Amino acid sequence: MIESLGHHTTKTNAFFAVFIGYLANQAVPRLGEILKCTFLARYEKVPADKLIGTIILERIIDALCLLIVFGITLIIQPDIYGKLIDAIFAGNNKPGDGKGISSALITLIVAGAVIIIIVIWMIKNKKTFADLGLALKKIGQRIWNGVSAVQHLKKRGQFIAYTLLLWGLYLSGGYLGFLAFQQTGHYGIQEAFTILSAGSIGMIVSPGGIGAYAYIIEKTMQVYGLNKGIALAFGWILWLAQTTVIVLGGIISFVSIPYYNKKKKVKRADLIADHILTQEDAIRRTAQWRLLKKTIVFTNGVFDILHKGHIFSLSQAAKEGDFLIIGLNADSSVKRLKGESRPVNDQESRALVLASLLMVDAVVLFDQDTPLELIKSLMPDVLVKGGDYTVDQIAGAKEVIGNGGRVIINSILEGFSTTNIIQQLNNP
């Protein structure tokens, strides 16, 4: 997903950052996501604010995968969740003896609590049922955006394969755990799905799943007839095995990442060219950015001899959103507009120089006299132009505004121009 932002990270730094994030989450939920972004921003120079969107998508996809696991568990064991609720709320009583709180009552209590929360939210915010429907629709849209984001990934097949492999490993963790005790050796995949479903809840309700994970696994295994003592030990062994891997991996990663990057001499020149896109690639890239709810800014020009005025204009444009795309006039376009003596630098050279700038996220060549067709295909949120223009004189302005976007006309830095530089070189 980071590649969809136009950035690349080394596998080693990504591995270290993920483990550091896992370690932080053991103490403070969601702190790990912040630290992961921070470490990648520091050592891979990927802006942290741009990484936040990938974290949100990652959480949505994880939630969907967990829902699928819940669904599979329910299909192969239709009554398991009712039994599990009975076991958890039976207290010290034996599950099913009628002395604990029944699963039906728990369901009614949870449903009632949800309804009360919704009613309070509606009253406090003066919302109608139409507003509630709209809010639910937005939630559904966000979930759909998370699913549809996969089709815009450059390596979507690999992403899907790795996701399936990851959840397969989660499932196998419970299955292999059965081999730890002679009393659990006869359990199989069916029970492993329940372990994964119930254990995931345990990991959510307390930091790092401490206490809650072992307790829920204990009750789960009691549903399957396992002795309480063995069930308790089984729950704690599973939790300790996972936590040990996370703690050791996190500590090793935290210690290793600065050492690794100190020894590693990164030559990023080969990555600069990745910001130079064809129009087709740019359309795909902007679709990915939109799924991350990012604001896309577009500006254009020749940028023949890069100077201080260009840097000023591009910096101003970049402030208008999250991602800046430059439409760059191809050589043939420049010759028609400025004469046969131009450009001084060919399109490949100009594109490479622009792509190396920190504020630039993508450079796209166009060979027409104006970037109108390119703008219509990308439909940026913000169109920026520098100089003494009016909105009706700017190519693509009508289309961007009609799509709900903005047009910004920035002032230029006086005293700097490519024409003046050329004249000074020709007349020293």
* pLDDT confidence of residue 399: 95
- Stretch 82-106: mean pLDDT: 63
Q: Reply yes or no on whether the pLDDT at 100 is more than 60.
A: no
Q: Reply yes or no on whether the pLDDT at 97 is more than 60.
A: no
Mean pLDDT of the chain: 85
- Stretch 404-426: mean pLDDT: 85
pLDDT in tens, 341-385: 899 999 999 999 999 998 999 999 999 999 999 999 999 999 999
pLDDT in tens, 225-271: 999 999 999 999 999 999 999 999 999 999 999 888 876 554 455 56
Best CATH choice for the domain 273-426 from the list 3.30.930.10, 3.40.630.10, 2.40.160.40, 3.40.50.620 = 3.40.50.620
- Confidence tier at 49 by pLDDT (50, 70, 90): low
pLDDT in tens, 179-232: 888 899 999 999 999 999 999 998 888 888 888 999 999 999 999 999 999 999
Q: Reply yes or no on whether the pLDDT at 81 is more than 70.
A: yes
Higher pLDDT, 200 or 389: 200
pLDDT in tens, 134-169: 888 877 776 666 566 666 666 778 888 988 999 999
Express the helix, strand and coil content of the chain in percent, nearest 5 each: 65, 5, 25
* pLDDT confidence of residue 317: 95
Higher pLDDT, 298 or 32: 298
Q: Reply yes or no on whether the pLDDT at 96 is more than 80.
A: no
The helix (run of H) or strand (run of E) holding residue 165 is helix 156-177
In this structure, are residues 276 and 351 in contact, taking their beta carbons and an 8 Å threshold? yes
- Can you give the residue ranges of every domain in the chain? 3-263, 273-426
pTM over 0.75: no
Which among 373, 353, 288, 360 is positioned nearest to 323, based on CA atoms? 360
Q: Reply yes or no on whether the pLDDT at 93 is more than 60.
A: no
- Confidence tier at 289 by pLDDT (50, 70, 90): confident
* pLDDT confidence of residue 118: 87
Give the span between the Cα atoms of 84 and 275, in whole angstroms.
52
Which among 295, 346, 344, 302 is positioned nearest to 324, based on CA atoms? 295
DSSP letter string, 217-277: HHHHHHHTT--HHHHHHHHHHHHHHHHHHHHHHHHHHHHHHHHHHHH----THHHHGGGEE
- Confidence tier at 94 by pLDDT (50, 70, 90): low
The lowest-confidence range among 21-25, 336-340, 416-420 is: 416-420
Q: Reply yes or no on whether the pLDDT at 95 is more than 90.
A: no
- Confidence tier at 291 by pLDDT (50, 70, 90): confident
- Confidence tier at 111 by pLDDT (50, 70, 90): confident
- Stretch 315-332: mean pLDDT: 95
**Residues 83, 84, 85, 91: what is their CA dihedral angle, to the nearest 10 degrees?**
100
* pLDDT confidence of residue 6: 63
- Confidence tier at 57 by pLDDT (50, 70, 90): confident
